Amino acid sequence: MQNFGTMRILVTLTLLASVVAATPKTHAQNIRQYQLEPGPNGLALVVKEIAQPSPGANEVLVRVRAVSLNRRDVSILDRGVANGLVPTSDGAGEVISIGPGVTQFAVGDRVAGTFFADWSGGRRTREAMATARGGGIDGMLTEMIVSHEAGLVTIPDYLSFEEAATLPCAAVTAWRALFTEGNLQPGDTVLLEGTGGVSIFGLQLASAAGANPIITSSSDTKLERAKLLGATGTVNYRTNPEWQEDVLNLTEGVGVDHVLEVGGQQTLHRAIEALAFDGHVAIIGGLSGRADAIPLGPLPEGGSVTDIFVGSREDFEAMNEFLIEHQLRPVIDRIFPFEEAPAAYAYMTSNSHLGKIVITL
């Protein structure tokens, strides 16, 4: 009897298996996303299909429509440590369902993820810093995300998903550096290094606030474009390796009141030489390698240096109000389809862009 029972179970299982095999795979409840896997040089981007996630209490399900790249996303690939991680911090999309207890969002709302899934405002903590999307936790290069509602902001109506997807990292970083930490005032001078994402947002924000942005670039063509975006002074750092002297000249020897220091090793000491009395240096990046020391010698009396790590949801929301007031539009250099995400990464590595690189989903 026992044998017959076992046989019946086996036959049933075999029949079930053949039914499953014969049923066409609809993928209706699957979504596509990129994950990082070991590749020939560090990590590679690999498309995976996973089951569609669903929101729990206080969570929101977002259909991601666009993602933007930051230099950090390229660096994470090179470092090769984040196996299985969904990459990229920045994305925007629409709410397609909400979990119980959600009060701030409804189906159909247009939202962006905050860079840190869990830094609403106030002082930063180690715990909050560990929730950086596309680094500490999974990121946005996926057709859908589930996020706690506190990790989302409403995006300005006049911006497309592509434009809004550029905001969470680069724009919020520039905002925090200039306004939250730098207390930017009309008439101040601001030094921007290069024409990448953070610097171009810094240029647009400073210009809209009535400040005087001075920008450097390796390309005269890019400097011409920067003038159209509001740069009042430009310097080619390739043809003028001691470009800080040109920056000082442009300020009649006074120096700049703010620096968005994204260059690192090759730029920090030069930027400090170009700093005005009581100027503020926002330490942001290491495009030429991370600077391993701040040269206090040339730091003018009264100058200050702040380490920036993007910003909070509070910063993001304050910035959005400013964007709406001034109707600022992010500068998108190029848009790639989801399938060509690796090409978008390669394009960033080439440094051909001015402003932001976007991937649509």
Ligand X SMILES: NC(=O)c1ccc[n+]([C@@H]2O[C@H](COP(=O)([O-])OP(=O)(O)OC[C@H]3O[C@@H](n4cnc5c(N)ncnc54)[C@H](OP(=O)(O)O)[C@@H]3O)[C@@H](O)[C@H]2O)c1
Q: Which two tokens stand for residue 353?
A: 């862009």
Q: Is residue 169 involved in binding ligand X (CB under 6 A)?
A: yes
Alpha-carbon span 118 to 103, nearest angstrom: 17
Nearer to ligand X, 60 or 281 (CB): 281
The tokens for 118 are 């869990």
Q: Which of 148, 222, 270, 280 binds ligand X (CB under 6 A)?
A: 222
Q: Does 309 bind ligand X (CB under 6 A)?
A: yes
For position 217 contacting ligand X by CB under 6 A, the verdict is yes
Does 185 sit near ligand X (CB under 6 A)? no
- Residue of 118, 149, 162, 193 that binds ligand X (CB under 6 A): 193
Does residue 159 touch ligand X according to CB under 6 A?
Answer: no
State CA 209 to chain mean position distance.
22
* Alpha carbon distance 320, 260 (integer Å): 20
Among 262, 291, 319, 344, binds ligand X (CB under 6 A): 262
218-242 burial, b at 16+ Cβ within 10 Å, e below that, comes to ebeebbebbeebbbbbbbbbeeeee
Q: Which of 82, 284, 291, 331 binds ligand X (CB under 6 A)?
A: 284
Of 27-35, 88-96, 158-166, 212-220: span binding ligand X (CB under 6 A)? 212-220
Which position among 136, 168, 255, 285 is part of the footprint of ligand X (CB under 6 A)?
285
- Among 170, 211, 214, 344, interactor with ligand X by CB under 6 A: 170
- Judged by CB under 6 A, which of 87, 91, 156, 263 binds ligand X? 263
Q: Does 156 bind ligand X (CB under 6 A)?
A: no
Least spacing, CB of residue 62 vs ligand X, in Å: 22
Shortest distance, position 261 Cβ to ligand X, whole Å: 9
* 136 scored as a contact of ligand X (CB under 6 A): no
The span from the CA of 45 to the CA of 359, in Å, is: 14
Environment class of residue 103 by beta-carbon count within 10 Å: exposed (0-12), middle (13-18) or buried (19+)?
Answer: exposed
Binding status of residue 306 toward ligand X by CB under 6 A: no
116 binds ligand X (CB under 6 A): no
Among 85, 112, 140, 308, binds ligand X (CB under 6 A): 308
Beta bridge partners of 46: 35
Measuring CA to CA, which residue among 201, 204, 253 is closest to residue 230?
Answer: 204
The residues pairing with 305 across neighbouring beta strands, listed in sequence order, are 281
Residue 313 touching ligand X (CB under 6 A) = no
Q: Can you tell me the distance from the alpha carbon of 277 to that of 298, in angstroms, rounded to the nearest whole number?
A: 11
Instruction: Find, among 258, 262, 261, the residue nearest to 275 by Cα.
Output: 258
Residue 34 or 175 with smaller CB distance to ligand X: 175
Q: Which of residues 16-75 bind ligand X (CB under 6 A)?
A: 70-72
Provide, rounded to whole angstroms, the least separation between the CB of residue 197 and ligand X.
Answer: 4
One symbol per residue from 331 to 360: x for binding ligand X (CB under 6 A), - otherwise; what is it?
A: -----------------x--x---------
C-beta of residue 216 within 8 angstroms of C-beta of residue 194: yes
Is the Cβ–Cβ distance between 275 and 281 less than 8 Å?
A: yes
Nearer to ligand X, 156 or 285 (CB): 285
Which residues contact residue 97 at a Cβ distance below 8 angstroms, ignoring those fewer than 6 apart?
A: 54, 55, 60, 61, 107
Query: What is the rounded CA–CA span in Å between residue 240 and residue 246?
Result: 8
Give contact residues for ligand X (rule: CB under 6 A): 70-72, 169-170, 173, 193-198, 216-219, 222, 237, 262-263, 266-267, 284-288, 308-310, 348, 351
